[in-house]
Amino acid sequence: MKNDGHNATAMPVTNAQLHERKNAATPRGVGVMCDFYASHALNSEIWDVENRRFIDFAAGIAVLNTGHRHPKLIAAIQEQLGKFTHTAYQIVPYESYVTLAERINAITPGTHAKKTAFFSTGAEAVENAVKIARAATGRTAVIAFSGAFHGRTMMGMALTGKVVPYKVGFGPFPSEIYHVPFPIELHGVTTEDSLAALQMLFKADVDPKRVAAIILEPVQGEGGFYAAPLDFMQALRKLCDELGILLIVDEVQTGFARTGKLFAIEHYDVVPDLMTMAKSLAGGMPLSAVCGRADIMDAAAPGGLGGTYAGNPLAVASALAVLDVIEEEQLIARANVLGQKLKQRLEKIRAEIPQIADIRGFGAMVAVEFMQAGTKMPDADFTKRVQAEALKNGLLLLSCGVYSNAIRFLYPLTIPDTVMDEALDILDAALRSAAAA
Neighbouring residues of 265: CB distance < 8 A, sequence distance ≥ 6: 109, 218, 233, 249, 251, 271, 272, 275
CATH 3.40.50.1370: does it fit domain 15-62+330-436?
no
Q: Quick check: helix, strand or coil at residue 169?
A: coil
pLDDT of 5 strictly over 60 = no
Q: Are 249 and 275 in contact (CB under 8 A)?
A: yes
Q: Are 115 and 97 in contact (CB under 8 A)?
A: no
- The DSSP symbol for 378 reads B
Neighbouring residues of 88: CB distance < 8 A, sequence distance ≥ 6: 308, 309
Mean per-residue pLDDT, 15-38: 95
- The pLDDT score that the predictor gives to residue 251 is 98
Q: Considering the chain, what percentage of its residues have pLDDT values greater than 90?
A: 96
In DSSP notation, 127-155 reads HHHHHHHHHHHS--EEEEETT----SSHH
What is this structure's pTM? 0.95
CATH code given to domain 74-328 = 3.40.640.10
Q: Look at residues 253, 293, 327 and name the one whose alpha carbon lies nearest to residue 62.
A: 253
User: Tell me: the pLDDT tens digits for 147-156?
Assistant: 999 999 999 9
Between CA 314 and CA 83 the distance in angstroms is 10
Q: Which residues partner with 179 through β-bridges? A: 144
User: Tell me: the pLDDT tens digits for 356-406?
Assistant: 999 999 999 999 999 999 999 999 999 999 999 999 999 999 999 999 999
CB neighbour class for 98 (10 Å; exposed up to 12, middle 13-18, buried from 19): middle
User: How many beta carbons lie within 10 A of that of residue 47, not counting itself?
Assistant: 20
Mean per-residue pLDDT, 14-32: 95
pLDDT of 100 strictly over 60 = yes
Ranges for all domains in the chain classified under CATH 3.90.1150.10: 15-62+330-436
User: Tell me: the pLDDT tens digits for 31-80?
Assistant: 999 999 999 999 999 999 999 999 999 999 999 999 999 999 999 999 99
CA-CA distances (angstroms) from residue 100 to 117, 245, 248, 320?
10, 28, 21, 6
Count Cα atoms within 13 angstroms, Cβ side, for 384: 7
- The pLDDT score that the predictor gives to residue 9 is 54
Task: Sort residue 408 into left (φ over 0), alpha (ψ -120 to 50) or beta.
Answer: beta
Which runs of E-coded beta strand occur in 182-277? 211-216, 246-250, 274-277
Ranges for all domains in the chain classified under CATH 3.40.640.10: 74-328
Mean per-residue pLDDT, 291-295: 98
- The pLDDT score that the predictor gives to residue 355 is 97
Mean per-residue pLDDT, 200-228: 98
Question: If pLDDT is split at 50, 70 and 90, which confidence band does 350 have?
Answer: very high
- The pLDDT score that the predictor gives to residue 4 is 57
Between CA 53 and CA 42 the distance in angstroms is 11
Between CA 197 and CA 200 the distance in angstroms is 5
Mean per-residue pLDDT, 9-20: 84
- The pLDDT score that the predictor gives to residue 437 is 86
User: How many beta carbons lie within 10 A of that of residue 406, not counting itself?
Assistant: 26
Q: Quick check: helix, strand or coil at residue 320?
A: helix
Between CA 124 and CA 134 the distance in angstroms is 15
Question: If pLDDT is split at 50, 70 and 90, which confidence band does 414 have?
Answer: very high
Mean per-residue pLDDT, 269-280: 97
Q: Look at residues 197, 195, 201, 259 and name the one whose alpha carbon lies nearest to residue 233.
A: 195
Q: Which residues partner with 227 through β-bridges? A: 219
Question: If pLDDT is split at 50, 70 and 90, which confidence band does 1 have?
Answer: very low
- The pLDDT score that the predictor gives to residue 8 is 52
Question: If pLDDT is split at 50, 70 and 90, which confidence band does 7 have?
Answer: low
pLDDT of 11 strictly over 70 = no
Q: Which residues partner with 290 through β-bridges? A: 117, 276
